[in-house]
Amino acid sequence: MEYRAKHGTSGAVLTNSWFFGKADIPHLIKEVWLIKLSVQEFLDTVQNPNTKKEYRYGIKKFCEYYGKIAEKILDQRKDDLTQKSGENLIEYKNRAARFEKEIEKFHGHLQSQGYSTNTSRNLTIGIRQLFRFYQMPVRIRAGSKVTKTVKTSKNFPLRIEHVRKMFEVADLRERVILSMATDLGLRVSDFIKIKKDELPPLNQETPISFDIMTNKEEVVAHGFLSQETVGLLEVYVPTLTKKGNPYLFPSNGKRHISDEWLNRLLQRLAKKSKIPLNGKSLTFHCFRKMLLSAAIDSGIGLTAGKKLVGKAIAQSDDTYLTTVNLRKKFIQLKRFQTIKEQPKMDTVKIDSLQRVVSDLQEELTKQKLIIDSLSQENIKTKEKLRKLEPFVEFVNSTDASENLKKLLNFFRMDILEDYPDERLRPLKGEFSPYISKKIKEVAKTMGVTEQEALKQMLEDDIELTAKATKKFVAPKRISKKKLRELEKLAKERKQGKKR
């Protein structure tokens, strides 16, 4: 059975099969007319055709489940939200929550019929958005299964390597689409509506800021155009000579390209570049997912990625992510998302050079520490040598080591007389074979013992020694008589120790 009515003055004919399809719900002609008007008013506000189709189908399924037409459902919802005279608060709240419970039951009913978790959730969105459109939103309780989703593997996991392959076989217009999609990660409905006059001046330093108000969430996408995209746009924009079409990606008429056309383009490029999809669905939305995944992999964070593509984030994070910070994060992101791949050899060489520089810096730091330590030791050594200069001059002025030894012993004994508490530290000295031989020769020639020969040698050198000792600071003069007495005293002490 089919019901017809004229819509306004346009002469358009509406039928219940046009709206509900083959499975009609029993109703009156007048009710069908009112349903089409109320539901159509809501659906006219939905711009995405795919979303509109899903909402229409979801509302149809809920009407079948609940057993009432859409307008009756809306009237009942309005009545539930109006507190009646004499009704207590508990009764009113339970009545107001009627459709929250009914939608949960509807969700369970869909799953019992074999619908998946995600499909069941999507089919509830239509009736919920219809209530919201008429300012009667349904609040789904926390933890409800209605809002639950599960990850699926239906979408193709697009990576930058795939984009590079498609880029190689694409023409100029297709390359602009691929490059801008990689930079911006917008929803398809926002991307296809970009107009030529909305582009920022391209003669700026890249990356160039490009803010777009998203239609779905009404959140600004703070995107950027990379050097790759800017270079392509500078060539592509002058080719848009068709008058009367303001869009960056115009259709044959006066409108922009459709999302279906764009998705078919991507599938055609994938096939041409021999990318195996393995039964997965490659759509424009895959670019959005790729950018958000790259935001995590590159280290800029998911929050910054959401800010770039125009997804709602917390107010505290929104304050922190300024345009300057986002620009730095976009530059970091593009190191992972560049279509024109940099030669791997250059990257390897750079990494190798960085390691060499790091090793050299570490080695230089060690060498500096060593040099500083040696410098300190040199200063100390020079100071000690400076103090020993008089003694070295004295030693150099004495030509007989045995005489020097005895003289030092005499000095030592003299000091002990002035400082009797000083502990004895005997001097040890050895003569070379040459000096010992000479002493023996002198003793034999003079007919005396070697000890007497040494005494005579000391007496001969005493004058020279006296001159040398004058080079000390405040040297103490020793007479020949005193020297003999010191020698005698030293012998007696030595003999006493032997006993």
- Nearest C-alpha neighbor of 323 from the set 338, 340, 341, 304: 304
The answer to whether the CB of 337 falls within 8 A of the CB of 291 is: yes
Name the domain count of the chain. 4
Which pLDDT belongs to residue 4?
34
**DSSP secondary structure of 106-170:** HHHHHHHTT--HHHHHHHHHHHHHHHHHTT----PPTT-GGG-----S-B----HHHHHHHHHH-
Q: What is the CATH number of the domain that holds 192?
A: 1.10.443.10
Q: Averaging pLDDT over each range in 61-65, 68-72, 319-323, 384-388, which range is the top one?
A: 61-65
Phi, psi of 281, deg, nearest 5: -100, 115
**Residue 47, in any domain of the structure:** yes
The answer to whether the CB of 228 falls within 8 A of the CB of 340 is: yes
* Residues in a beta bridge with 213: 220
Do 334 and 365 lie in a common domain? Answer: no
The DSSP secondary-structure symbol of 230 reads H
Do 184 and 318 lie in a common domain? Answer: yes
Do 75 and 190 lie in a common domain? Answer: no
Which pLDDT belongs to residue 458?
65
**Residue 167, in any domain of the structure:** yes
**Residue 152, in any domain of the structure:** no
- Count CB-CB contacts under 10 A for residue 299: 12
Q: How confident is the model at residue 410 (pLDDT cuts 50, 70, 90)?
A: low
Do 364 and 269 lie in a common domain? Answer: no
**Residue 154, in any domain of the structure:** no
Do 379 and 409 lie in a common domain? Answer: no
pLDDT tens digit sequence for 324-352 = 688 999 999 998 889 986 655 455 566 67
Mean pLDDT of 426-440: 60
Report the percent of the chain where pLDDT is more than 90: 36
Which pLDDT belongs to residue 492?
76
Q: How confident is the model at residue 311 (pLDDT cuts 50, 70, 90)?
A: confident
Q: Given 341, 372, 407, which residue is the final one in a domain?
A: 341
Distance CA 259, CA 286 (A): 13
Q: Given 385, 420, 454, which residue is the final one in a domain?
A: 385
**Residue 392, in any domain of the structure:** no
* Residues in a beta bridge with 155: 281
pLDDT tens digit sequence for 245-286 = 899 999 888 889 988 899 999 999 999 999 999 888 899 999
Do 21 and 37 lie in a common domain? Answer: yes
The answer to whether the CB of 200 falls within 8 A of the CB of 298 is: no
Maximum separation of any 2 CA atoms in the chain, in Å: 161
Q: How confident is the model at residue 226 (pLDDT cuts 50, 70, 90)?
A: very high
Distance CA 287, CA 145 (A): 29
Going 57 to 58 to 60 to 65, the CA torsion angle's sign is: positive
H or E element in which residue 183 lies: helix 172-184
Question: Does pLDDT of 9 surpass 50?
Answer: no
Classify residue 2 as exposed, middle or buried by CB count within 10 Å of its CB (0-12, 13-18, 19+): exposed
Q: Given 107, 124, 147, which residue is the final one in a domain?
A: 147
pLDDT tens digit sequence for 114-141 = 998 889 999 999 999 999 988 899 998 8
Mean pLDDT of 463-485: 59
**Cα dihedral 241→246→251→255 (10° resolution):** -150
Q: Averaging pLDDT over each range in 32-46, 105-119, 314-328, 457-471, which range is the top one?
A: 105-119
Distance CA 277, CA 286 (A): 12
Averaged pLDDT of the chain: 79
Do 493 and 458 lie in a common domain? Answer: yes
**Residue 1, in any domain of the structure:** no
pLDDT tens digit sequence for 133-169 = 888 999 988 888 888 888 766 889 999 999 999 999 9
Integer CA distances (angstroms), 233 to 228, 230, 248, 408, 417, in order: 9, 5, 10, 98, 104
Question: Does pLDDT of 380 surpass 70?
Answer: yes
Amino acid at 230: V
**Residue 153, in any domain of the structure:** no
Do 423 and 295 lie in a common domain? Answer: no
Going 31 to 36 to 41 to 46, the CA torsion angle's sign is: positive
Do 134 and 275 lie in a common domain? Answer: no
Give the domain extent around 361: 342-385
Do 412 and 367 lie in a common domain? Answer: no
Distance CA 423, CA 160 (A): 87
Distance CA 59, CA 61 (A): 5
Distance CA 261, CA 257 (A): 7
Question: Does pLDDT of 206 surpass 70?
Answer: yes
Do 304 and 229 lie in a common domain? Answer: yes
Which pLDDT belongs to residue 398?
58
Mean pLDDT of 37-61: 85
Do 177 and 194 lie in a common domain? Answer: yes
Mean pLDDT of 478-491: 72
Question: Does pLDDT of 495 surpass 50?
Answer: yes
Query: Going by DSSP bridges, is the β-strand pair 12-13/208-213 parallel, antiparallel, or unpaired?
Result: unpaired
**Residue 285, in any domain of the structure:** yes
3-class secondary structure, 495: helix
Q: How confident is the model at residue 358 (pLDDT cuts 50, 70, 90)?
A: confident
The DSSP secondary-structure symbol of 84 reads P
